[in-house]
Structure 1
Amino acid sequence: MRQDFFSTMRRIGMIAGLALLASPVLSDSPEHAIAMYGEPALPPDFVSLPYANPEAPKGGQIVFGEAGGFDSLNPYIVKGNAPSQITPFTVETLMGRSLDEPFTLYGLLAESIQTDAARSYVAFTLRENARFSDGSPVTPEDVIWSFETLGTQGQPRYATAWRKIASAEITGPRSVKFTFNVQDRELPLILGLRPILKKAQWAGKDFTASSLEAPIGSGPYVVDTFEPGRFIAFRRNPDWWGKDLPFNRGLYNADTLRVEYFGVDTALFEAFKGGAISSFRELNPAKWAANYDFPAVAAGDVVKEEIPHGRPSGIEGFAFNTRNPLFADWRVREALIHAFNFELVNQTLNGGVQPRITSYFSNSALGMEPGKPAEGRVKDLLTPFAADLLPGALDGYTLPVSDGSEANRKNIRTATKLLAEAGWTVQDGVLKNAAGQPFAFEILLTQGQDEMISAAAIYVESLKRLGIDARITTVDNAQYKERTNAYSFDMTHYIRALTPSPGNEQMLYWGAKGVTEPGTRNWPGINSPAAEAMISAMLTAPDTQEFAAATQALDRVLTTGRYVIPVWYSRVSRLAYRKELHHPARLPLYGDWPGWMPDAWWVE
């Protein structure tokens, strides 16, 4: 979250940040914090996080709006659709992440963390006063039970780290130790961010069953009132054990946080205009320029602000489900990427101002340079997989650019040629294979996803020029989750936000287990030994230089895999909010990111 500084100094700032963290810590004594590389920025006696206001007043209410709904209060399992705010507002972790550093954690439930130079184990000592919201103490038994239950019965994202634990033991009245069976420098930090649940709450209950029973957590808020599909309200716990910790000072200032649910984005925006919603995050720059002339803005009752950040672009676009034989051939995927007229779509929806995502880690020093061949250590990492890499991974790759016209003739000609090479030709105006089967597929989207529906509609018209029959299907949130968990789609909207500190989550996003294992985030069905090898190299990198090279190599594998048709990203977040809401002037590196809004904000 930067201002103009980050838009001009983005790459320089990231490189400088990595350089500052170049020396690994060798101490294995208990510490107040841990960094992926080097030393934490804040000393043991720090007063507050640099982007928090320790003098912020307490009180008031902040109301958010979301499209969709919920039917569960358990966000840790595959079944059900739970509010995303349950964990960050009500459930605490052993360590807390600073949004001002690429990957540094400071003690929360744990007063200290201990590991060795090889990071072959991690030990945590709990704070003596750590309590759940019902007043009961947080114990080592709760920690081990939480890790094991999440790792064996929870969502797939928790399983990878649990499989890397060789032993878990209670080493004292308030201490636990986890010994690992693999080399993975990130594991101590991953475990530090695992939610800690109360073991006794789940005695005799099926943890995997969807339920409207809220988890008993140790965080700043508790679930107050709710109505599935309509709203949920969180009340700040006046007896919260952690309110005086330096890490929490100046955070969690509102007495009440409420989320209202709406069927479509237009209804949500109208509610904001009418004063029922406290803030609105505008994703469309054209709407940002044109739709904020309503009376509350003119009167100064609503503030418009652009919040810069120093994060990679991440990936967003239309994902191919490569489990479908229709999309198994990379030439078919490349052809359909050529058929996507980004310049026309961007001009129509965004006024042409949004930059395109050029790779998964673009907009950062961790990304590949479009069109440039792999060099140095990046090339060394990729060369053993050269026979299996797709064109462009080693010699350079750039997304096609159209002339912006509706015809998009040059790219359509290229797409036609690629499809013919893959065995698809136009017969009587319909694209068919040698067996006479037509090329037809479904684009699955959620109701109320107006922008993506509009982009898909333009794309469908472009595909008709190739003789392809693409149709758009919209479903509600519950159906969408069920279908994407089972990978029951041909193409769908896909978004994965990426940070300056990628790690174990990359295996969940792109690992081969996701090809068949339901509920992972590998929606495209990526099955690439090269990608998994690059992720392993990231996790075992001894310094930031090796880490950056491995990430750049992974970026090349993913981008040239042609798994997603990239759309746009924004170098800023566009926030409109009521004038009574305030945030510190000092913005964190991550910008508008979970952990900043509403955590560091207050109401006057």
Structure 2
Amino acid sequence: MAPVLGLNPGMSAITPAFADEAPNGLKWRHGVSTFGEIKYPADFKRYDYVNPDAPKGGVARLFELGTYDSFNMVVAGFKGTVASGVGRIYDSLMDASSDEPDTYYGTLAEAAAFPDDFSYVIYRLRAGARWHDGKLITPEDVVFSFGALKTNSPMFSSYYRHIEKAEQIGERDIKFTFDSPGNRELPMITGQLVVLPKHWWEGIDAQGNKRDITATTLEPPLGSGPYRIKEFAAGRSLVLERVKDYWGKDNPNAVGQNNFDELRYEFFRDDTVGREALKADQFDWYSERSAKEWSVAYDVPAVRDGRLIKELFPVRNQGRMQGWVFNLRRPKFADARLRRAFNYAFDFEEMNRVLSSGVYHRDSSYFDGIPDLMASGLPEGLELQILETVRDKVPPDVFTAPYKDPVGGDPEAVRSNLREATRLLKEAGFEIRDRKLVDSSGQPFTVEILGASADPGMERIALFYKPSLERLGITVNLRPVDIVQLQNRLRDFDFELTTTVWGQSISPGNEERDFFGSQAADRPGSRNLAGIKNPAVDAIIERIIFAKSRAEQVAASKALDRVLLWNFYCVPHFNYDQQRYVRWDRFNHPDLLPKYGVSGFPNLWWYDAAKAAKLKGS
């Protein structure tokens, strides 16, 4: 999910008493928020949810699925696979608080200022911010970073496309100018900018070659953040070490955090091997995605005696839709009735019972997990007004019927759903010949499900789904690929049906263009995997982005949700409102974890020497 910021005109953030006014008579802000006055004042010392006395030291070993071949995050998603953890070596202009929804405070920037029409933003850098080589971070670095990301990153070229330019306007001030007023997110999106060292990227490497920010590299980059790369084994492991003289260690949004001396990322090709490695104490912390494995895979002595802990953490800060997504670039999926038939063939209830012990609920929204944004019932009020503006471009059912996924779970319901799927297919011009589904030209209909073999959990679900599709006469192939092949094929949109997840923030905005917008549909590496090109979707996304109030943002989000659902761009999977973690008991955390931080690991946790010694002696 892309984090998103916004500030409504009538919801002003607390303004600190800076020594001077910002340019053009504006006032400096030390923090900004979507939802009103921010919690922490200008002189705050730390977040409430941290332990300011947390001891520094120890090692945290982290599991990562897959591999990597680059440390250059600028071309991530387009060239190479970037190692997890690399982002920790950099600072951004602002960072998010975890006990407020969509509220950010200055990191590299000490303050921001922007006019009431949101036509530009000015950031002022902190005077003491510096790179790990001791050089000061300058406005030139910020301008360089913006240009590098917007020009070379498929994701950021879309995310920043309404930011026309960045320019230095003072000793420590940078102005970002937007292509039009009214986009209240843009000043804050700019604050998420990760700043890169211009002098390093334009310099020479140890072999005397000029560095190239448009190419993959395994040369450890220069950073400014709380960690730096210590060592690595390409594709297999990465070790970050804490920067003990980190320039920002006393910043309010860093106190009590970044407590481990080392973060060790261990890369595994699949979860099955990873689980066994965890139980053998080869790493410390694992996010368990499978309900079945959570139930059956950890009946081991270390769990029974409390050395290896299973723990659930509530998820309150994000929504999502997970499902099998159709590649609409393939003409075979052009008819929404065919796509809907695929949904009728998925017996979620039986799959949930057999494979997942019944713990999941089915995704019924592209904002599942954020009730305020989920479409329900029939549209009314402002949502209905928004939908009326695109009435001629959306399915009629948007206005006349609440969206509901088919319900299975027993033989009669399954038969009824398959009959409805058959009816839809016939209506779309398909028929059964010799027990095979054929199109109007007599060609058999086949579908390839890509990527299931790269994830054993998804493979089980695909194997469960396959016989139901075959009962409709559809020939189904499961294409085995490894993680790297999967990433490359998805980057080039080389698939028919695959699994994806669209993550959503509490305050949706510009990222919706990259998820569902027409301009992203044919851009390699974009997150519009489905290839959606729908003028109604585009128009509603603009209503979300240019909403003048939270009420309008909510109404437009519900309208978007409803239009996406009724176009059947995916076969919805399932969701769970808690995150499952398994960890070795050698760590500790603050008594009160933040509402929007899930587990807070590893940022807020610390190494507990007494617990570690007890583990070692057991």
TM tier, smaller = over 0.9
> For residues 410 and 514 of structure 2, what CA distance do their matches in structure 1 show?
36
TM-fit CA distance, 1:311 = 3.3
> For residues 532 and 586 of structure 1, what CA distance do their matches in structure 2 show?
41
In structure 1, the partner of 2:226 is: 220
TM-fit CA distance, 1:446 = 5.6
> For residues 125 and 381 of structure 2, what CA distance do their matches in structure 1 show?
44
In structure 2, the partner of 1:8 is: none
State the Cα deviation string for residues 237-296 of structure 1 (Å, max 9, x = none).
112111111100111100100111112211100111111110111122332233222111
Given residue 86 of structure 1, which amino acid in structure 2 is its aligned partner?
Answer: V
In structure 2, the partner of 1:280 is: 286
Given residue 194 of structure 1, which amino acid in structure 2 is its aligned partner?
Answer: L
Question: Which range moved further: 485-494 or 158-167?
Answer: 158-167
Given residue 599 of structure 1, which amino acid in structure 2 is its aligned partner?
Answer: N
In structure 2, the partner of 1:394 is: 399
Indicate the percent of aligned positions where both proteins have the same amino acid: 38
Given residue 231 of structure 1, which amino acid in structure 2 is its aligned partner?
Answer: S
In structure 1, the partner of 2:146 is: 147
Given residue 568 of structure 2, which amino acid in structure 1 is its aligned partner?
Answer: R
In structure 1, the partner of 2:176 is: 178
In structure 2, the partner of 1:477 is: 483
The 5 Å alignment of 1:375-386 reads 375-386=380-391
Determine which of 6, 11, 29 is the counterpart of 1:24. Answer: 11
> For residues 164 and 198 of structure 1, what CA distance do their matches in structure 2 show?
24
In structure 2, the partner of 1:597 is: 601
Given residue 144 of structure 2, which amino acid in structure 1 is its aligned partner?
Answer: W
Q: Does 1:495 align with 2:501?
A: yes
State the Cα deviation string for residues 210-253 of structure 1 (Å, max 9, x = none).
11123322111011111122111111111211111110011110
Given residue 382 of structure 2, which amino acid in structure 1 is its aligned partner?
Answer: R
Q: Does 1:163 align with 2:161?
A: yes
TM-fit CA distance, 1:149 = 1.1
TM-fit CA distance, 1:162 = 3.5
CA contact (8 A) 2:452 2:462 kept: no
The 5 Å alignment of 1:26-65 reads 28-65=26-63
Given residue 71 of structure 2, which amino acid in structure 1 is its aligned partner?
Answer: L
In structure 1, the partner of 2:297 is: 291
In structure 1, the partner of 2:419 is: 413
Determine which of 351, 354, 360 is the counterpart of 1:354. Answer: 360
TM score, norm. by length of structure 1: 0.93
State the Cα deviation string for residues 180-215 of structure 1 (Å, max 9, x = none).
112311111111011100111221433221111233
**CA 1:37–1:115 in 2, change beyond 3 Å: closer, same or farther?**
farther
> For residues 399 and 446 of structure 1, what CA distance do their matches in structure 2 show?
23
Q: Does 1:373 align with 2:369?
A: no
Question: Which range moved further: 140-149 or 206-215?
Answer: 206-215
Given residue 55 of structure 1, which amino acid in structure 2 is its aligned partner?
Answer: D
> For residues 520 and 570 of structure 1, what CA distance do their matches in structure 2 show?
26
In structure 2, the partner of 1:535 is: 541
**CA 1:374–1:308 in 2, change beyond 3 Å: closer, same or farther?**
same
Given residue 387 of structure 1, which amino acid in structure 2 is its aligned partner?
Answer: D
SS of 1:575 mapped into structure 2? strand
> For residues 545 and 470 of structure 2, what CA distance do their matches in structure 1 show?
44
> For residues 37 and 504 of structure 1, what CA distance do their matches in structure 2 show?
17
> For residues 521 and 328 of structure 1, what CA distance do their matches in structure 2 show?
19
In structure 2, the partner of 1:579 is: 585
> For residues 280 and 291 of structure 1, what CA distance do their matches in structure 2 show?
13
Given residue 469 of structure 1, which amino acid in structure 2 is its aligned partner?
Answer: T
Question: Which range moved further: 210-219 or 437-446?
Answer: 210-219
Given residue 24 of structure 1, which amino acid in structure 2 is its aligned partner?
Answer: M
SS of 2:361 mapped into structure 1? coil
CA contact (8 A) 2:375 2:562 kept: no
Q: List gaps (5 residues or longer) in structure 1.
A: 1-17
Question: Which range moved further: 521-530 or 404-413?
Answer: 404-413
> For residues 212 and 398 of structure 2, what CA distance do their matches in structure 1 show?
46
**CA 1:511–1:391 in 2, change beyond 3 Å: closer, same or farther?**
same
Q: List gaps (5 residues or longer) in structure 2.
A: 16-25, 203-209, 609-618
**CA 1:167–1:288 in 2, change beyond 3 Å: closer, same or farther?**
closer
The 5 Å alignment of 1:57-456 reads 57-77=55-75, 78-87=78-87, 89-154=88-153, 156-182=154-180, 183-203=182-202, 204-370=210-376, 372-395=377-400, 396-405=402-411, 408-445=414-451, 447-456=453-462
SS of 2:32 mapped into structure 1? strand
**CA 1:339–1:211 in 2, change beyond 3 Å: closer, same or farther?**
same
> For residues 366 and 529 of structure 1, what CA distance do their matches in structure 2 show?
25
TM-fit CA distance, 1:68 = 1.2
Given residue 606 of structure 2, which amino acid in structure 1 is its aligned partner?
Answer: W
SS of 2:177 mapped into structure 1? strand
SS of 1:225 mapped into structure 2? strand
> For residues 321 and 513 of structure 2, what CA distance do their matches in structure 1 show?
15
Given residue 559 of structure 1, which amino acid in structure 2 is its aligned partner?
Answer: L
> For residues 263 and 550 of structure 1, what CA distance do their matches in structure 2 show?
41
SS of 2:477 mapped into structure 1? strand
> For residues 93 and 509 of structure 1, what CA distance do their matches in structure 2 show?
23
CA contact (8 A) 2:319 2:506 kept: no
CA contact (8 A) 2:375 2:561 kept: no
Question: Which range moved further: 93-102 or 244-253?
Answer: 93-102
> For residues 481 and 244 of structure 2, what CA distance do their matches in structure 1 show?
41
State the Cα deviation string for residues 322-357 of structure 1 (Å, max 9, x = none).
111111110000000111111121112211121111
TM-fit CA distance, 1:405 = 4.0
> For residues 407 and 605 of structure 2, what CA distance do their matches in structure 1 show?
41
> For residues 166 and 297 of structure 2, what CA distance do their matches in structure 1 show?
55
CA contact (8 A) 2:269 2:483 kept: no
Given residue 191 of structure 1, which amino acid in structure 2 is its aligned partner?
Answer: T
**CA 1:492–1:391 in 2, change beyond 3 Å: closer, same or farther?**
farther
Determine which of 553, 558, 569 is the counterpart of 2:564. Answer: 558
Given residue 601 of structure 1, which amino acid in structure 2 is its aligned partner?
Answer: W
TM-fit CA distance, 1:539 = 1.6
TM-fit CA distance, 1:70 = 0.7
**CA 1:590–1:561 in 2, change beyond 3 Å: closer, same or farther?**
farther
SS of 1:347 mapped into structure 2? helix
In structure 1, the partner of 2:612 is: none
CA contact (8 A) 1:307 1:591 kept: no
State the Cα deviation string for residues 26-84 of structure 1 (Å, max 9, x = none).
87401111112422121112222232221211110000112211111112211000113
CA contact (8 A) 2:47 2:253 kept: yes
> For residues 464 and 30 of structure 2, what CA distance do their matches in structure 1 show?
53
CA contact (8 A) 1:360 1:555 kept: yes
CA contact (8 A) 1:148 1:162 kept: no
Question: Which range moved further: 34-43 or 460-469?
Answer: 34-43
Q: Between Structure 1 and Structure 2, how many residues are aligned?
A: 581
Given residue 39 of structure 2, which amino acid in structure 1 is its aligned partner?
Answer: A
State the Cα deviation string for residues 370-401 of structure 1 (Å, max 9, x = none).
4x111100010011211221243223211111
In structure 1, the partner of 2:613 is: none
CA contact (8 A) 1:24 1:542 kept: no
In structure 2, the partner of 1:519 is: 525
In structure 2, the partner of 1:462 is: 468
SS of 2:594 mapped into structure 1? coil
> For residues 101 and 93 of structure 2, what CA distance do their matches in structure 1 show?
18
TM score, norm. by length of structure 2: 0.91
CA contact (8 A) 2:155 2:526 kept: yes
CA contact (8 A) 1:95 1:192 kept: yes
In structure 1, the partner of 2:19 is: none
CA contact (8 A) 1:24 1:543 kept: no
> For residues 551 and 589 of structure 1, what CA distance do their matches in structure 2 show?
23
> For residues 109 and 162 of structure 1, what CA distance do their matches in structure 2 show?
19
State the Cα deviation string for residues 512-562 of structure 1 (Å, max 9, x = none).
122211110000111122222222112221221111111111111222221
